A and B are shown apart, each in its own frame.
Chain A
Amino acid sequence: MIVAYLDPGTGSILFQALVGAALASLFTLKIFWSRVKNFVASTVLRRPGTHAHDDLD
């Protein structure tokens, strides 16, 4: 249940539920892709990888 001291807006809350799954998938793909790039950079090209996204548990 959502309890907020500001009106979060019904349309704004329902909209997040609607687009959330798609945004989650895109985000997972992005993390996966950055890990692949890091892996290639660090093992094949022997460059230190960057950790653009460390938010994903």
Chain B
Amino acid sequence: MTTSTRRDVPGSFRDPRGVVFESDGVIYREVRQDYRGDYDRLMQSGLYGVLVEEGLLIPHEEISLDSEAGPDTYRILRPERIPFISYPYEWSFSQLRVAALATLRIQQIALRHGMSLRDASAYNIQFYAGRPLLIDTLSFETYSEGAPWVAYRQFCQHFLAPLALMAYCDVRLGQLLRIHLDGVPLDLATSLLPWRSRLRPGLLIHLRLHARSQRRHASDNGSSNTREARLSRNGMLGLLDSLQSVVNGLHWRPEGTEWADYEQGDSYVPEALSHKEAVVRRFIEEVRPESLWDLGANTGRFSRIAAELGVPTVSLDLDPGAVERHWLSCVERGEQRVLPLVVDFSNPSPAMGWAHQERMSLAERGPAGMALALALIHHMVIGNNVPLPRVASFMASLAPWLAIEFVPREDPKVQQLLAHREDIFTGYTQANFESAFKTQYEIEGVEAIRESRRVLYLLRRK
């Protein structure tokens, strides 16, 4: 059944009842014959319609694609394309929280239609037009009265445990999801959580007592009879309601983080800032890219310009506080074109999982139409000791166009980076910056920022 153009998406292999593949640049989902009953129920029970209408499930079209159909194929679906795939370890606290709440809401609606989620993976949720959306159409199975929720463990590991750790210990513990691809093990979460987390009944039940039960039955080897385990429909609704309450009750505020007030503390005078905004706007207008990555976006001041120009934008920043603020401001403004994510550009998300192929690296998810690197170069070269030519070549691999700000050595922000270290960066000059980037790019525009010594460049990859 494989044709020359078909390529199964490497991360789609766990569920034998369907597979995601790409053909001629279009993403398809194949529904296999053994999922037929559940798929028909999803479509005919009204569940699909309700979830799509509520913006909780990705819409799809059933298409006939004979060249791709095999004997096991029941249907081939063409889901709406998600412009940028992001992963839970790149989400800020509130993004993970709304993804958790969306998952619970979907399960509640599914139950009303006689179905239940058979997985609750955070990777099945993607942000689309500013909202969390379930992208795995085959996540549903027919609900049978009395059956426990098979995805309960996964929900607690993928959502509840990291959220509790971020809220109660340190927001950076969300990065545990980068190590544990099937979510944070509950025994690890409970060993890290402070004693006061026990005072919240939801965390006591769904993390501590749940972890204890897992430990007790860890060496059962099937001797415990899960076949007789029953959870009434009301018990299931109670379980979901309890999870919803505990997730709703978890909060984290970005006050006091390293960068959260960075913008206010910026070294720009107002005139310089407005000139910089005008130049960035002009550069984006000149390029008119299909998409833009804002590298080091902070709270999104410049991403917003791209969004205003109608460009779908992914805004990366290493600081979870800045990204949280950015996300909350996007929600408040109903911003649909910007996706803020926690990514450290000096250590971007790698390819991970089985055969390094389950989760894509940042670069694999490109290229973007254009990259924006404002007030970033000194952090790479001086803060992180990356030579200028290497910065240029990595940036050139991400997008054919680059708007980049050169921050000179005399700038207070550079001086701050050099304050307590030996200055081994004598090569960090504007001339060397230009010659390093000229090996990769043509210079299409240069503009000195007024009332500042910084310079903005518009570069086109050779």
Among A1-33, those with CB < 8 Å from B are 1-2, 4-28, 30
> Which residues of the other chain, A, contact B226 by a CB distance below 8 angstroms?
2, 8, 10, 13-14
Q: Are B235 and A12 in contact (CB under 8 A)?
A: no
Q: Return the CB mask of B106-132 against A: 1 if under 8 Å, else 0.
A: 001001100000110000000000000
Chain A positions near chain B (C-beta within 8 angstroms): 1-2, 4-28, 30, 53, 55-57
In the complex, what distance in Å separates the CA atom of A23 from the CA atom of B149? 14
Whether the Cβ atoms of A23 and B235 lie closer than 8 Å is yes
On whether the beta carbons of B210 and A24 are closer than 8 Å, the reply is: no
**Smallest CB gap from A25: residue in B:** B238
Cross-chain contact A5 with B210 (CB below 8 angstroms):
no
Residue from B111, B112, B148, B235 within 8 A of A13 (CB atoms): B148
Does chain A have a CB within 8 A of B199? no
**Residue in A4, A14, A23 whose CB lies within 8 Å of B229:** A14
Please give me the residue from chain B that is nearest to A20 by CB atom. Answer: B235
Residues B150 and A28 in contact, CB atoms below 8 Å apart: no
Picked from A1, A11, A16, the residue with its CB within 8 Å of the CB of B215 is: A11
Contact B237 A11 (CB under 8 A): no
- The answer to whether residues A10 and B222 also contact, given A5-B17, A26-B242, A55-B112 and a CB cut-off of 8 A, is yes
Query: Given contacts A5-B118, A9-B214, A10-B224, are A16 and B111 in contact (CB under 8 A)?
Result: no
Q: Which residue of A lies closest to B205 (CB)?
A: A19
A-B contact pairs, 28 of them (CB 8 A): A2-B226, A2-B227, A5-B14, A6-B119, A7-B153, A9-B214, A10-B224, A10-B226, A11-B214, A11-B215, A12-B153, A12-B156, A13-B148, A13-B226, A14-B213, A14-B224, A17-B148, A17-B229, A17-B230, A18-B213, A20-B231, A20-B235, A22-B238, A23-B242, A24-B235, A53-B241, A55-B111, A56-B234
CA distance A6 to B154 in the complex (A): 9
Cβ-defined contact, A15 with B210, below 8 A: yes
B415 contacts the other chain (Cβ, under 8 Å)?
Answer: no
State whether A20 touches B217 (Cβ < 8 A): no
- Judging by beta carbons under 8 Å apart, are B152 and A8 in contact? yes
Tell me, in angstroms, the Cα distance from A37 to B160 when the chains sit together. 30
Complex Cα–Cα for A9 and B154 (A): 9
Within 8 Å by CB of B218, from A11, A15, A56, lies A11
Which one, A4, A5, A9, A20, contacts B238 given CB within 8 A?
A: A20
Q: Does B220 contact A (CB under 8 A)?
A: yes
What CA separation (Å) do A25 and B241 show in the bound complex?
A: 12
Complex CA–CA separation, A56 to B240 (angstroms): 12
Which of B14, B112, B153 contacts A9 (CB under 8 A)?
B153
Of B118, B151, B227, the residue contacting A1 (CB under 8 A) is B227
What's the minimum C-beta distance from A19 to chain B, rounded to whole angstroms? Answer: 6
Is B147 touching A2 in the complex (CB atoms < 8 A)? yes
Q: Name the residue in B16, B111, B218, B236 with the highest tally of chain A Cβ atoms < 10 Å from its Cβ.
A: B236
The yes or no answer to B169 lying at the interface (CB within 8 A) is: no
Flag if A13 contacts B229 (CB, 8 Å): yes
Contact status B149-A27, CB under 8 Å: no
Whether the Cβ atoms of A11 and B216 lie closer than 8 Å is yes
Instruction: Tell me which of B112, B150, B234 contacts A6 (CB under 8 A).
Output: B150
Tell me how far the C-beta of A23 lies from the nearest C-beta in chain B, rounded to whole angstroms. 3
Given A12-B153, A17-B229, A6 and B14 contact (CB-CB distance below 8 Å): yes
Docked CA distance A23–B242 (Å): 7
B15 at the interface (CB under 8 A from A): yes
Contact (Cβ within 8 A) A5 B15: yes
**A8 and B151 contact, CB distance less than 8 A:** yes
Q: 7 additional contacts, CB 8 Å, given A12-B210, A20-B235, A55-B237?
A: A6-B14, A6-B151, A8-B151, A19-B239, A20-B231, A27-B241, A55-B112
- B16 CB contacts on chain A under 8 angstroms: 5
Q: Can you name the residue of chain A whose Cβ is closest to the Cβ of B222? A: A10
Q: Which residues of B contact A14 (CB under 8 A)?
A: 213, 217, 224, 226, 229
B209 close to A (CB within 8 Å): yes
CB neighbours (8 Å) of B154 from chain A are 6
Q: Are B234 and A15 in contact (CB under 8 A)?
A: no
